[in-house]
Amino acid sequence: MKPAPFDYHAPRQLAEAADLLAKLPNAKILAGGQSLVPMMNFRYVVADHLVDVGSIDDLHGILAADGKLRIGAMTRQRELELSADVAKHCPLMVEALRYVGHRQTRNRGTIGGSLAHADPAAELPAVCAVYDAVVHIASVRGLRAVPFREFAVSFMTTALASDEMIAAIDFPIWRPGHGYGFHEFARRHGDFALAGAAALLVVGADSIVQQASLALCGVAPSPSRVEAAEVRLLGQKLDAALIRSAAAAARLVEPISDIHASGDYRRHLAQVLSIRALTDAARRAGVDVPKLV
């Protein structure tokens, strides 16, 4: 047996889970377990209690209503990958999920787990950042809604208090026909990305950019929006020169340096991957731009 001993709880109601989290000392939430269990097997994490939220029906599901796509925290990554609603309303997520781990881990891994774990290189937090998602958080004090930019605090750190859990995530639905692109670089398929870029574009008549969003993962301690790039894109005619100019703003991020890649290399990747993501987004929005890098 690899993990240290712990007590296991499997509540069936959200309120019951919130009660357990409020009263149990040193409790961890078990969602898909694809990050928590390896950390427990290594004994990086030693919990006295595991609260398995997998049996809470209210945490599962995908619902498109009122201009939002609401996804329950326990929805498996593989369900999202295969969901017609996600493909229709939030196509960038499907694109990003192709890079998330492997088939076996996506079968178990959940969107809520990925957000709560908050690995800076993870793809789903970047998807939340680029869409300005809203995270709904539950506890004994009730529900609160937190914009993703306030939810992601830093390296593996979120706005969640120790007795709180993610209940659902809302993604604003962008106009049909919007462009989207996701690119990342990892040493092997399924590895954590050294850097990744997610782009969304709405393009009007005469190729004028009406709405733009660009986010990076793997570069900074948490997924970061490249606001300078968005400013350069808005109201301008979308072409190769504009994409180059916007992606150059990705070099302005303050990158992390570690054994996997230097900060300079990450800065280079951020720019190249931003060009690729924006190019895909432009083409899907109906603007013909050549492959730049």
Q: Is 288 in the site for another protein (CB under 8 A)?
A: no
Q: Which of 152, 110, 109, 113 shows the shortest CA–CA distance to 129?
A: 152
Amino acid at 119: D
Q: Is residue 60 a contact residue for another protein (CB under 8 A)?
A: no
Residues 9-28: x where in contact with another protein by CB under 8 A, - otherwise, as a string = -x------------------
Alpha helices in 2-73, H assignment, sequence order? 14-23, 36-41
Shorter beta-carbon distance to another protein: residue 8 or 142: 8
Rg of the chain over Cα atoms, rounded to whole angstroms, equals: 19
In angstroms, rounded to a whole number, what is the distance separating the alpha carbons of residues 5 and 231?
Answer: 52
Q: How far is the CB of 235 from another protein (least distance, A)?
A: 40
> CB–CB of 201/278 below 8 Å?
yes
Least distance between another protein and beta carbon 62 (Å): 17
Q: Does 236 bind another protein (CB under 8 A)?
A: no
Q: Residue 104, interface with another protein (CB under 8 A)?
A: yes
Stretch that binds another protein, among 3-11, 58-66, 235-243, 266-274 (CB under 8 A): 3-11
Contact call for residue 34 and another protein (CB under 8 A): yes
For residue 4, the minimal CB distance to another protein (Å) is 7
Contacting range for another protein; rule: CB under 8 A; set: 2-10, 21-29, 162-170, 281-289: 2-10
User: Does 196 help bind another protein (rule: CB under 8 A)?
Assistant: no
CB of residue 75 vs another protein: minimum separation in angstroms?
Answer: 14
Could you give the CA distance from residue 75 to residue 107 in angstroms, rounded to a whole number? 10
* C-alpha to C-alpha distance for 60 and 75, rounded to whole angstroms: 5
Using CB under 8 A, which of 16, 19, 22, 52 touches another protein?
52
Burial of 108 (0-12, 13-18, 19+ CB in 10 A): middle
List 12, 23, 88, 103, residue binding another protein (CB under 8 A): 103
Interface size with another protein, residues (CB under 8 A): 30
Among 142, 176, 189, 288, binds another protein (CB under 8 A): 189
Paired sense of beta strands 7-9 and 49-52, if any: parallel
Alpha helices in the chain (DSSP H): 14-23, 36-41, 77-82, 84-89, 91-97, 103-108, 111-117, 123-131, 148-151, 227-233, 240-248, 263-284
Helix count and strand count (H, E) for the chain: 12, 14
Contacting residues toward another protein, per CB under 8 A: 1-8, 10, 30, 33-34, 37-38, 41-42, 50, 52, 54, 78, 101-105, 107-108, 188-190
